[in-house]
Amino acid sequence: MSGRPAVFLDRDGTLMHEVGYCANPRDVAVYPGVREALERLREAGFALIVITNQSGIGLGYFTEAEYHAVQAELARQLAPVQIDGVYFSPDTPDSGSPRRKPAPGMIYEAARDHGIDLARSYFVGDREGDMQCGARAGLRTVLVETGYGAQFPDCSADYRARDFRQAVEWILEDARRE
């Protein structure tokens, strides 16, 4: 597929603090430097797409409306940076859904919707499942050690980053080498 490259982004533990089943906009706290790092990606020509599992919906911990309220607060805190697309899976871990990470369904959906060149794209997340999802779609992967990231010392990521800012530095350098 030809098109523009993207950085696919996990949400909780990657862009914002992990609070476990975030259902309240008051609990949204973007990590320091994330907005500026996203601006650098945008300036380099990357589409920005959030790919997030939200099994709390499927488990009945919170509603889809509550999820959307949290997402709106995240967008407010990231402004003026615009996210090109947000894809979420409400499916439970045992559902077998092709959209739920580590399955790459949401990435393929976003690639079709936004004309993404997967061969020039990246996935940034804080869990092994994020790395597996990105790798299955042919993306280069970056594990951030925020959120749950430090719990995966033997992760299959192409690169490990202390935080999102360091992840973006590596992505920009890697993309320049292409």
Nearest-angstrom CA–CA distance, 15 and 76: 13
Active site residues: 10, 12
What is the CB neighbour count within 10 angstroms for residue 50? 21
Nearest-angstrom CA–CA distance, 167 and 141: 10
Residue 29, token pair as written in the block: 């706290």
Nearest-angstrom CA–CA distance, 35 and 165: 9
